[in-house]
Chain A
Amino acid sequence: MVLGGKSQQLLSKIATNDKHGENSPYFDGWKAYDRNPFHPTNNPQGVIQMGLAENQLCFDLIEEWIRNNPKASICTPEGLHQFRNIANFQDYHGLQEFRNAMANFMSKVRGGRVRFDPERILMSGGATGANELIMFCLADPGDAFMIPTPFYPGFVRDLCWRTGMQLIPVHSDSSNNFKITREALEAAYKKAKEDNINVKGLIITNPSNPLGTTLDKDTLKSLVSFTNEKNIHLVCDEIYAATVFSSPNYVSVAEVIQEVEHCKRELIHVIYSLSKDMGFPGFRVGIVYSFNDEVVNCGRKMSSFGLVSSQTQHMLASMLSDENFVTRFLKENSRRLEKRHDKFMKGLEEVNITRFPSNAGLFCWMNLKSLLKEPTFEDELKLWRVIIHEVKLNVSPGSSFNCSEPGWFRVCFANMDDETVDIALNRIRAFVGRETKKPLGMKRWQPNLSLSFSSRMFDETAVMSPHSPIPTSPLVRAT
Chain B
Amino acid sequence: MKLLSTKATCNSHGQDSSYFLGWQEYEKNPYDEVMNPEGIIQMGLAENQLSFDLIESWLDKNPDVPGFKSNGKSIFRELALFQDYHGLPSFKKELVDFMAEIRGNKVTFDPNHIVLTAGSTPANETLMFCLAEKGEAFLLPTPYYPGFDRDLKWRTGVEIVPIQCTSSNNFQITEPALQQAYQDAKKRNLRVKGVLVTNPSNPLGTTMSRSELNLLIDFIKDKNMHLISDEIYSGTVYSSPGFVSVMEILKERNDLKDCDVPVGDRVHVVYSLSKDLGLPGFRVGAIYSENEVVVGAATKMSSFGLVSSQTQYLLSAMLGDKKFTKNYISENQKRLKRRQRMLVSGLQKAGISCLKTNNAGLFCWVDMSHLLHSNTFEAEMDLWKKILYEVRLNISPGASCHCTEPGWFRMCFANMSEDTLNLAMKRLKAFVAAESNDNACSKRTSRRKSLSNWVFRLSSRDHREQEER
Contact = CB atoms under 8 A, between A and B. Distances in A.
Interface of A: 1, 3, 6-8, 10-16, 20, 22, 54, 56, 59, 62-63, 66-67, 70, 73-77, 79-80, 83-84, 86-90, 124-126, 128-129, 132, 136-141, 143, 157-158, 162, 198, 231, 233, 266-267, 275, 279-284, 292, 294-295, 298-299, 301-302, 304-312, 315, 460, 463, 465-470, 473-476, 478-479
B266 interface: yes
Contacts of A143: 5
B334 interface: no
Given A83-B59, A162-B301, A307-B118, A282 B4 contact: no
A137 B8 contact: yes
B278 A129 contact: no
Contact of B80 (A79, A280, A478): A280
Interface in B302-346: 303-311, 313-314, 316
Contacts of A304: 119, 121, 150-151
B402 interface: no
Contacts of A62: 76, 80
B293 A8 contact: yes
Contacts of B81: 54, 56, 279, 281-282, 468-470
A299 B82 CA distance: 27
Contact of B266 (A10, A16, A275, A312): A10
**5 pairs of A and B residues whose beta carbons are closest in the complex:** A310-B281, A75-B66, A282-B309, A306-B305, A478-B90
B281 A311 contact: yes
B293 A7 contact: yes
B437 interface: no
A302 B237 CA distance: 31
B129 to A, nearest CB: 5
A269 to B, nearest CB: 11
A20 B299 CA distance: 11
A129 B300 contact: no
A79 B65 CA distance: 13
B204 to A, nearest CB: 23
Interface stretch (B130-138, B243-251, B379-387, B424-432): B130-138
Among B68, B84, B224, B283, find the residue whose CB has the most chain A CB atoms closer than 10 A: B283
Contacts of B299: 463, 465
A426 B43 CA distance: 66
A138 B293 contact: no
Contacts of B84: 465-468, 476
Contacts of B8: 136-138, 294-295, 298-299
B153 interface: no
Interface in B1-38: 1, 3-9, 13, 15
Contacts of B170: none
B9 A140 contact: no
Contact of B279 (A22, A56, A87, A279): A87
Nearest to A21: B300
Contacts of A129: 303-305
A23 to B, nearest CB: 11
Interface in B70-95: 70, 74-86, 88-90, 93
A299 B9 CA distance: 11
Given A15-B131, A88-B278, A301 B13 contact: yes
15 contacts: A1-B290, A10-B226, A12-B131, A88-B278, A88-B280, A90-B274, A136-B5, A158-B303, A283-B309, A295-B4, A299-B8, A304-B151, A309-B282, A311-B282, A475-B75
A294 B77 contact: no
Given A231-B1, A298-B8, A470-B81, 11 more contacts: A7-B261, A14-B129, A54-B81, A56-B81, A70-B66, A282-B83, A284-B83, A302-B155, A306-B305, A460-B296, A473-B78
Contacts of B59: 75, 80, 83
B306 A20 contact: no
Interface of B: 1, 3-9, 13, 15, 47, 49, 52, 55-56, 59-60, 63, 65-68, 70, 74-86, 88-90, 93, 118-119, 121-122, 125, 129-134, 150-151, 154-155, 193, 224-226, 260-262, 265-266, 274, 278-283, 290-301, 303-311, 313-314, 316
Contact of B129 (A90, A141, A162): A162
A460 B300 CA distance: 11
B118 A125 contact: yes
Contacts of A312: 308, 310-311
Given A75-B314, A90-B280, A6 B300 contact: no
* Best-buried of A267, A295, A475 by chain B (most CB within 10 Å): A475
Given A83-B59, A87-B278, A475-B79, A283 B310 contact: yes
Nearest to B58: A75
Nearest to A304: B121
A135 B290 CA distance: 32
A125 B304 contact: yes
B118 A66 contact: no
Contacts of A299: 8
A62 B77 CA distance: 9
A283 B76 CA distance: 11
A468 B309 CA distance: 12
A86 B60 contact: no
A305 B311 contact: no
Contacts of A76: 63, 66-67
A470 B13 CA distance: 42
A282 B70 CA distance: 17
Contact of B77 (A59, A84, A307, A309): A59
A281 B83 contact: yes
- Among A14, A16, A466, which residue has the most Cβ atoms of chain B within 10 A? A14
B74 A63 contact: yes
Given A138-B5, A478-B90, A307 B132 contact: no
A295 B296 CA distance: 32
A70 B52 CA distance: 20
Contacts of B129: 12, 14-15, 162
B311 A309 contact: yes
